[in-house]
């Protein structure tokens, strides 16, 4: 089964868990399993249209899945995913 690393800002919605084991053969299926286990994450990861929010970045190892096959990116048995929220700010 794959694991997903949960960033600090989202741990309030996973009962403080930092890593969650999920099932699924693709990134999208793994994220759906994650949101079924922790339903409060749904609104933080997905828009009302069911699309992954633009500020939510999903990495498979060191690769942004947007540069692979997006949510259709296949997973292996021991895949490690990370959710990395975008950070805004800085000097202009």
> What are the residue boundaries of the structural domains of the chain, listed by start?
2-85
* Mean pLDDT of the region 15-20: 96
Kindly indicate the confidence band of residue 88, based on its pLDDT and cuts at 50, 70 and 90.
Answer: low
Determine the 3-state secondary structure of 38 from DSSP: coil
- CB-based contact 58:64 (threshold 8 Å): yes
Percent of the chain with pLDDT over 70: 93
Per-residue pLDDT of 22-36, as tens digits, reads 999 999 999 999 999
Q: What is the mean pLDDT of residues 46-72?
A: 94
Q: Which residues contact 22 (CB under 8 A, 6 or more apart)?
A: 1, 2, 3, 4, 30, 31, 33, 34, 37
Distance CA 34, CA 22 (A): 6
Superfamily (CATH H level) for 2-85:
Beta-grasp domain (3.10.20.30)
Q: What is the pLDDT of residue 86?
A: 78
Record the pTM.
0.89
Q: What's the CA gap between 41 and 63, in Å, rounded?
A: 22
């Amino acid at each position: 089964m794959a694991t997903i690393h949960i960033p600090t800002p989202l741990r309030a919605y996973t009962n403080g868990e930092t890593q969650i084991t999920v099932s699924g053969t693709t990134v999208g299926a793994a994220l759906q399993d994650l949101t079924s286990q922790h339903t409060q994450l749904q609104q933080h990861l997905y828009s009302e249209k069911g699309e992954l929010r633009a500020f939510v970045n999903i990495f498979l190892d060191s690769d942004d899945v947007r540069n692979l096959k997006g949510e259709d990116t296949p997973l292996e048995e021991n895949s490690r995913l990370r959710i990395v929220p975008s950070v805004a700010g800085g000097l202009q």
